[in-house]
Structure 1
Amino acid sequence: MSAPLCLLVPVTGEVAELEPLLQDLRHVTQAGDMLVFACAGPLRSRDRDPARRVRLLVEMGEFPAGVRLHAVSLQAPLAWESLIEIGLPEFSGPDALPECVLLLSQEARVEPNALLPLRRVMSEVSPPDLVTSATVGLSEEEVAAPFPLAFSRALIEGARPRADGRTGMPGLLHHLLSQATRHRVLDLPAAPLPSPGAGLAQALAALSAEGPEAYDWVLSHLPAFCAGATPGARAVMAPVLSSANLPLPSTAPATPALAGRAMLRVWRGGAHAHRMPLAYDALAPLWEGQIQLDYTPEQADLLAIAHPLDALALAPDVAEAVARGVPAMLLSEEPFWDTLFSPDPLADRITLPASVMGEMRLHQVNHHRSGIFDFERIPYYLLTDPRFLRAYREHFARNARIDAMDWAAAWGDRPADLVFMAERREERFHDIDIPEGGILGLCAWRTRLALACENAERLGASWQGGDTRFALEDWHLDKMTRLDGHARLLSAVENTRQPLYISEKIFDAFACGALPIYMGGPGHGIHRLELPEASWMDLWGADEQTGKARIMATLQKGADWTAYAAAQRRLAELFNDTEIAVRERVRIVGALRHELARAVDAGPA
C-alpha cells in the first residue's frame, strides 16, 4: 500500500466553509491517513467548541475505513511557525503521525489522484524532508492545490521544544525555505507565506548566507516577508535589510522565537496587578496549559504591569531582568489610566520613568492597540467578574416582561429625575482630546454637566463624603440596590470616550429601569449592541449647557417607550445566552495569548 499521509488543515473562518474540501478528501484519503483540523482563533461558529463542530462535520463525511480524524481547538490565531508544532501534538501508538505532513488551506480543492505522486515518493526508502511539485515530477501546469508545501515527520520532530524551552522552528523554516527556493514553491500563488516573526527572520538571515543565488532570492522577497514584521524580526534581519537599502527602525536585538512555546511564563507586578486581563478568575481556566503566572522576574519570559505609575515602584530584581533582555509590557485595561499617564496611548512601544533603572521600554497593550478588547457582543469588562452577568440576567429577564405602556407609567413614579453616580473631577487636565484615536477625556465634562443640572442627585463619596465604593463588600450590588427603580435618567457617561471601551455603567442604567445618558458618537462600540437609538440619550458633540438642555427636554416630554422596551428585550436575550459570554471569553484569552507571545518573540521593546 502507498504511504499514508497526515493532512493538516488550519480552520480560521466559518466552519461550514470546510464542506467543499471535505467532499474532495472523501475521494483521495485511504486507510492509515490522518486528518487534523486545527481550529485556530475566534471562529464565527455558534458552537461553544469549534473543534466539536468540525469533528461532527467530518464524522458525517463517510470517509474510508481506517482514516483517523482529529480536531483540535486552539485558543488564539497562530503563526505559521507555531501551527505545525501546536496543531500536531505528540501523537503515538495507534495515532502515530504518518511520515508525511501536508499543509492544506481551508479553501483548497484536491483533484482526484492528486495525492498519488506524493504517496509514491513518501514510500521510498529515504523519503525527502520537503516535497514540492518538482520532487514528485509534476510540471507547474500540473501542480494541484495541495502542493504549496509538504514535509516529513522528521522535520516536525525537529521543531519540538528543546530542553531549554526554545523551539527548533527557525531551523525547520530555514530548511523549508532552502528547499522551496530551489524548486520555486514560494513563487506559486497558492503558497502560504510564513508569518513575519523572529523565527522566520532567523531562517531568512541564515538562508541569505548560503550563497549569491539564495541572497538574491531573499532580497527579492523582502517586501512580502517584511510586511508587518515585528521590530524583533526586523532586528534579526538587520544585515540583510541594510544590504537591500531598506529602512530599518532602531530596535534592540531580538530574542529567539518563542511562538511555539507550550507555556508562556509571566511575572505580573505593581499596585494595580489585580486590574489586568491576567488577574481574573473568570478567564484563568481558559489559559490553563498556555500561560503560567507568578514566576519571579528571573524565571519569566515576560514582565507585565497594569498601570504606567507601577513602573515607579519596581524592585531591583525586575530591573535586573530588564537589563538581561526580558521584555516588559504595559497591559492596561483602563483607558482613563492610559490617557493620563501613558506618554502616548496610541503607540505600540513606550518609555516610562522607572525606579532603579531610571526609565524602561515597554510593549503597550491597551484598548487602542489590542484585539483583547475588540468585543463582538459583550464588552470586555463585564466578562471579568461573574457578578455582572448574574445581575444583568436577573434584571433584564424581569425588565423584558414590562411593555411600553408600563414603562411610561413607571416613569412618573420615579423618586428622582436625574442621578449622577461617578467621581467628581473638575480639573481641566481631564479634558483630553486625541482625535486620531477617537479618544476624549470625559471626567471633567461629566462633572460640569452634573453641576449644571440643578435638579440632579449627585451620589458617591466625592460628592457626599464617606467611604468610597472600594470599601464596600460588593459595590456593584450596592449600586444596583440603591438605584433600581429610583431615577428617570441615569448618567452612564464613561471616564473616557474610547471606541472599544464600555464599562458596566450603561448596562446598570438599563437594568435599573432608567434612561441612560451616554457619550457614544460615530464609530463607538456601543452601536454593536444594536439597541434602538431612541432607547438611550447620546450626548456626542454636546457641551455641558447643550447637554443640560437636552436632558431637561427629555424630562419634560418623556422617552420613546416602545424603543426602550425593545432595548430591554434585546438585552435580556443577550445576557440569557450563556454561549455568547463563553465565546467572548475564549476570544479574549486567545487574543491575550497572542499579545504575550508576540511581545516575547519580538524581544525587548
Structure 2
Amino acid sequence: MFNIYLYGRYKKRVPFSYSAYENLLGKRFLIVNEAKFSDFIIVSNYKDVEQNQEFFSRTTKKNPNLKIVLFSEEPFWDTLSNYNTEEFFFTVDNGPLAGTKIFNINHQNCDVFDFNYIPYFLTTEASYITRYIFLLTNLLKLTPKMLLNHWDNADYQLGSLSEKRLGAHFDLYNSQKELIGLSRFRSTLAESYTGKKLVHGLGWSPTPRRQKLPDWHSDKISKYLNKSRYLSSIENTHLSNYMTEKLFDSFAVRSFPIYYSSPDHRIKDLISENSYLNLYGYDTHQSVKLIEKHTLSLINADSYLNDADRMLNLFTDCDYITDERFRFIDKVYRKFKKISEHR
C-alpha cells in the first residue's frame, strides 16, 4: 500500500480527491493527513510546485525516500507550464528544490487517462451521469422532425460558455502529439461570431468562477437548455484521447455541438460525423463563415438522436462506468509502482 498526501491550492482537482474514487482506493492507496507519513506528495498543478518549493525542500530533507508527483488531469495547465511535463519526470533547475525530480502523470505522457467507453472526466462525479440520463431520456421523446424544428426556432444561433482567453500564449501546438491549445481559438470564435449568441463565462459577463458555484454543471445546463441551435463544445486543449463534459452537454441541452477534432480523435467512437460540426483545420475567420453557412437537416437530427440513444445506453449500464473506474485505479497503481521503483 502507498501512503499519499494531497497538497496545494489545486488538491481538489486530483483524482484521489473525488468521492467516486476515494471508495476504490482499497488496499492500494491510503490518503494521510501529514506529509511526513507519506510515500508520495501529490499535486495537480505545476503552480503548486513553483509556489511551494520551501515546503517540498523541508519535507524531502526529512524523508529522502519521499517522491513528489505532478498528477495532472488538466492538459491546459500542462501546456502553460515551463516544466517538461511530457517526460516520466523533470528535474527542477533552481530554487530550494534544485536537483529534485518531479514525476509526471498526465494525458500526454501515459495511458492512465485513456478510456474504453466513457471519458475519465465523467467518471469523477456521479451527478454527471445521473443528469445526463434524465436529460437524454427527455430528448429522445422527440422525433427528428421535432428536433429540427426546435433548432430552426432556437432563440440563439450560437451558445458558448468558457473563460475569455485571448492571449497568444494560449496558442500551443505540438504536431507529434496532436496537441493544440484551443482556449484562444474558441474565445476568438465566440467574439467574432456576429449572429445572435448567448455567451457566458469569466471575462464575458459578471460570472463567478465555476468552483465558486454550488453546482457549476447544473448552472450551465439551466443557462443553455433549449436556448441555442449550436453550442460550442470545443475543449481548451486538443488531444486525441482527451474529452470532458462539453460534447455531452450539447446533447443534454439539445444543441448541435461544434467541436474541434482530428481524424484520430476519440469522438469518432462516440458519435457520427453527422452529429456535430467539426472545425478542425479551420482558422477562426473560416470557422465563423462555416457556422454562418451551415444548415441542419433531418439527416443531422436523425443521427443526433441515434447517438443520444447510444449515450443513454452507456450511461444506464452500470458496468461501463464501473469498468472505467476500476481500470483507471489499476493503471494509476501500476504507474505509482513504477515511480516507487525509480532510483
TM-score exceeds 0.5: yes
1:521 Cα offset (Å) = 1.2
What does residue 310 of structure 1 align with? 48
Task: Tell which has more relative contact order, 1 or 2 (C-alpha 8 A, sep 6+).
Answer: 2
SS in 2 for 1:287: coil
CA deviations 1:330-351 (Å, max 9, x no partner) are 1000000001115233211113
Alpha-carbon displacement from aligned partner over 1:552-602 (angstroms, at most 9, x marks no partner): 122477862121121111111111111100110111111111111111111
Partner of 2:225: 484
Q: Secondary structure at the match of 1:350?
A: strand
Matched, 1:425 2:165: yes
Give the equivalent residue in structure 1 for 2:215: 474
Listed as ranges, the matches of 1:396-415 within 5 Å are 396-415=136-155
1:589–1:519 CA distance, 2 compared to 1 (3 A):
same
Aligned to 1:89: none
Looking at structure 1, the residues matched to 165 and 55 of structure 2 have their Cα atoms a distance apart, in angstroms, of 37
Q: Is the 8 A contact 2:261 2:279 kept in 1?
A: yes
Unaligned 5+ segments in structure 1 are 1-262
Q: Is the contact between residue 144 and residue 298 of structure 2 (CA under 8 Å) also seen in structure 1?
A: no
The residue identity in structure 1 corresponding to 2:216 is W
Counterpart Cα distance in 2 of 1:355 and 1:580: 46
Larger radius of gyration: 1
Amino acid at match of 2:23: P
Other structure's SS at 1:560 match: helix
CA RMSD of aligned residues (A): 1.9
Displacement of 1:532: 1.5
Percent same amino acid among aligned pairs? 25
Tell me by how many angstroms 1:316 deviates: 4.6
Shift of 1:402: 1.9
Tell me which moved more, 578-587 or 458-467. Answer: 458-467
The whole-number CA distance in structure 2 between the counterparts of 1:424 and 1:561 is 31
Q: Deviations over 1:99-154 (max 9, x none)?
A: xxxxxxxxxxxxxxxxxxxxxxxxxxxxxxxxxxxxxxxxxxxxxxxxxxxxxxxx
Q: Could you give the per-residue CA deviations for residues 361-401 of structure 1, whole angstroms, max 9, x where no partner exists?
A: 21111011222211000000111111111111111122223
Task: Give the equivalent residue in structure 1 for 2:27.
Answer: 289
Q: Does 2:324 match 1:584?
A: yes
Gaps of 5+ in 2: none
Q: 2:117 aligns with which of 377, 380, 397?
A: 377
Aligned residues of 1:399 and 1:569 also touching (Cα < 8 A): no
Per-residue Cα deviation, 1:235-254 (whole angstroms, up to 9, x for no partner): xxxxxxxxxxxxxxxxxxxx
Amino acid at match of 1:465: P
Residue from 427, 431, 434 that aligns with 2:174: 434
Match of 1:504 in 2: 245
1:49-128 mapped onto 2 (5 Å cutoff): none
Q: Which residue of 1 aligns with 2:86?
A: 346
Kindly provide the amino acid, as one letter, of the partner of residue 462 in structure 1: G
Q: 1:360 aligns with which of 88, 100, 111?
A: 100
Match of 1:513, SS?
coil
Provide the residue aligned with 1:537 in structure 2. 277
Q: Distance in 1 between matches of 2:221 and 2:198?
A: 16
Instruction: Quote the Cα distance in structure 1 between the aligned partners of 2:173 and 2:215.
Output: 33
Contact 2:115 2:324 in 1 (8 A): yes
Q: How many residues align?
A: 340
**Take 1:358 and 1:485, find their aligned partners in 2: how far apart are those partners?**
53
Contact 1:442 1:494 in 2 (8 A): yes
Contact 2:43 2:49 in 1 (8 A): yes
Q: Distance in 1 between matches of 2:327 and 2:223?
A: 34
Give 1:339's aligned amino acid.
T
Q: Does the 8 A contact of 2:91 with 2:98 survive in 1?
A: no
Q: CA deviation at 1:314?
A: 2.6
Contact 1:314 1:355 in 2 (8 A): no
Residue by residue over 1:184-209, the C-alpha shift from the partner in whole angstroms, topping out at 9 and shown as x without a partner, is xxxxxxxxxxxxxxxxxxxxxxxxxx
Change in CA separation of 1:448 and 1:559 when aligned onto 2, cut-off 3 Å: farther
Aligned AA (2:241): L
Is the contact between residue 53 and residue 97 of structure 2 (CA under 8 Å) also seen in structure 1?
no
Quote the Cα distance in structure 2 between the aligned partners of 1:525 and 1:545: 26
Comparing 290-299 and 411-420, the one that deviates more: 290-299
Tell me the TM-score normalised to structure 1 length.
Answer: 0.54
* Equivalent-residue separation in structure 2 for 1:392 and 1:549 (angstroms): 31
